[in-house]
Structure 1
């Protein structure tokens, strides 16, 4: 089989699926760790978590994709052969698992996915698809979500129309602003193959969602006085609650309390004067 790949000896732009990912609030983590004397600990923790979780995002031997990681940023690219459906499905699935795994560690990411000309090797990432993915991540994503750019959405719509029941539909949600984003919580349904029976399957799903809930609640509490950052985790909490209400409507304890998602004013007290 003729495999399309990024050639180290003959660099050239290749039509590709490209995803740019950024860890939310990472710069502030570095500043805080430096001020408080735990920079080495943060470095070791981040190094461990990224290396542990990047395994799920490493492209398979057939797709010949590449990954470039530089601290809190990651670029994942898959060269396209044919119509690109297989490569897009693979990157959506792998990136969602990576996003989900990091969220369970309290690290939330945003990102952008694009399609177009791209090249990557050990020393360089290059091409308009990278610019599109980065622009989508930095200017449009805003919240801890991975957004598909317009060109990728158009392609995905074409693939979806191939089927009566499209397999891609569960991987993507459409936000209030019209942007298509990765439904990373759908990753919990992959754990079925690791469970011995349906009861264990449901228990694992429940525990994963409960852990996800607690990590969001931690971030809501930490950033309660920083409205700009706090709002990003309100978005994540609403996404979490939506997912739980659709798939686990009877498990109300999985949902984050509505009172934690509202910015309540208060009356002036003696301590304020």
Structure 2
């Protein structure tokens, strides 16, 4: 049986899994770079990073997934075949890897995932699933997290009931507000196939988490005077620390220090007036 795909010659809406992704703070990055005459440098850096990392979204020519990129936004879509479990697993794993790779470069993203009618080709993205995914990204995610809407959560719950386990090594977490989101740090467990032994695998994982920590600390210090932006990286740092406590409890040095995650008042001094 041929797999369902987006037909370039006969456009029609197809039941799909759709993910909308946005790079946090990218508009400000554009303004700052252009004011400092560094617009071309930023353009080339972003182009290189996205071109390098988008390959994990649609990894090969046999994948039915499609992507559309415009500046800091990306739409990822997979047409659903049969019950959609294979496509959902592929989307979650691939998007997590993309989010993780960009985070290691200091680019943190937020996004939303929905299931519904959708169509995509080289010129157009169209359908209610895109509107739902964009709503999750722009209005619900808030922090550098990719959240699942109720329809996607319902699909995952069916998966759990059928197989009595979560897909893809617990790649989904539930946040304090009840939203399900992708645990992109689980991507480090994919690196086992490129390591020669268990010891080397452990070293690779720790080095990746150290790099993630370093980038987050840079963002926390950079935005400490902008409470609205700083709070988004505090959320991500708390997620980082949760992940380290869960999988690397003995590696205390991997965690981000609490003093970077707290905002304390101070008394007025002579230099303030």
Q: Counterpart in 1 of 2:154?
A: 154
Unaligned runs of 5+ in 2: none
Contact 1:173 / 1:183 at 8 angstroms: preserved in 2?
Answer: yes
Q: Equivalents in 2 of 1:266, 1:163: separation in Å?
A: 54
CA deviations on 1:17-40 (whole Å, 9 max, x unpaired) are 000000000000000001111111
Q: Equivalents in 1 of 2:63, 2:84: separation in Å?
A: 11
Q: CA deviation at 1:168?
A: 4.1
Q: Equivalents in 2 of 1:233, 1:263: separation in Å?
A: 13
Q: Secondary structure at the match of 2:170?
A: helix
TM-score scaled by length of structure 2: 0.98
Q: Secondary structure at the match of 1:234?
A: helix
Q: Counterpart in 2 of 1:88?
A: 88
Q: Counterpart in 1 of 2:120?
A: 120
Q: Counterpart in 2 of 1:13?
A: 13
Q: Counterpart in 1 of 2:35?
A: 35
Find out whether 1:66 has 2:63 as its counterpart. no
Q: Equivalents in 1 of 2:61, 2:152: separation in Å?
A: 23
Moved more, 54-63 or 15-24: 54-63
TM-score scaled by length of structure 1: 0.98
Q: Equivalents in 2 of 1:223, 1:213: separation in Å?
A: 16
Aligned-residue Cα RMSD (Å) equals 0.9
Q: CA deviation at 1:200?
A: 0.4
Contact 2:93 / 2:168 at 8 angstroms: preserved in 1?
Answer: no
Q: Equivalents in 2 of 1:131, 1:60: separation in Å?
A: 27
Contact 1:17 / 1:115 at 8 angstroms: preserved in 2?
Answer: yes
Q: Counterpart in 2 of 1:23?
A: 23
Within 5 Å, which residues of 2 pair with 1:58-207? Answer: 58=58, 60-168=60-168, 170-207=170-207
Moved more, 10-19 or 160-169: 160-169
Kindly tell me the number of residue pairs found equivalent between the two proteins: 273
Q: Equivalents in 1 of 2:22, 2:185: separation in Å?
A: 18
CA deviations on 1:84-136 (whole Å, 9 max, x unpaired) are 00000000000000000000000000000000000000000000000000000
Q: Counterpart in 2 of 1:241?
A: 241
Unaligned runs of 5+ in 1: none
